[in-house]
Amino acid sequence: MISALHTPRLELVPLDPVAIRHLIAGDRSAAEGVVGRPLPEEFPDRDDLAGFLPVQLKRMEESPDQREWMARLMVDQTGTVIGHCGFHGPPRMIGRAEIGYTVFPPFRRQGFAREAARALADWAFEQGETEVYASVSPSNAPSLAVVRNLGFREVGVQEDEVDGTELVFALTRA
């Protein structure tokens, strides 16, 4: 069993591959049954269905023993799913510990992305990683503020086949 990560206001719950299969198939009700709570209407969106969920499912199937390095739901203190976060995949698979996060519109601008990103980075450091990465679109001011506020430093630029140009940031373990 993969453990949830806890922050002062969030529980970062591993997203079950069975739930992902249901979401990809368009069966929200079955996915909610697996997750054990309602999912917001904005999840999954087209981008989730086209890239995020299939990629995460493939990586979960390829490395089931490394699922803690993959997608998680952000659940607030009321039990509401307010976003998703996690790692792009296991560092041994993708070459580095890289975080990602999405907070759904009604819950933005309340510090949840920062809280989740900090928890993910801290967890990665506890697992022995010495650096954690985040890739952010140059036009995504809120996400740029999150990584900069957490002390990530810009280390490069990359072209993502889905997202286009991204700035690459790294946070080094203290």
Least confident range from 32-36, 130-134, 159-163, 165-169: namely 159-163
The Cα-based distances of 13 to 49, 53, 95 in angstroms read 19, 15, 24
| pTM for this model (two decimals) | 0.94
Tens of pLDDT, residue by residue over 62-78, are 999 999 999 999 999 99
How much is the mean pLDDT over the chain?
A: 94
Q: Band the pLDDT of 2: cuts 50, 70, 90.
A: confident
The Cα-based distances of 174 to 11, 26, 69, 125 in angstroms read 24, 43, 21, 9
Task: Write down all domains in the chain, each with its CATH number in brackets.
Answer: 5-128 (3.40.630.30)
Tens of pLDDT, residue by residue over 128-150, are 999 999 999 999 999 999 999 99
Which percentage of the chain shows pLDDT scores above 70?
99
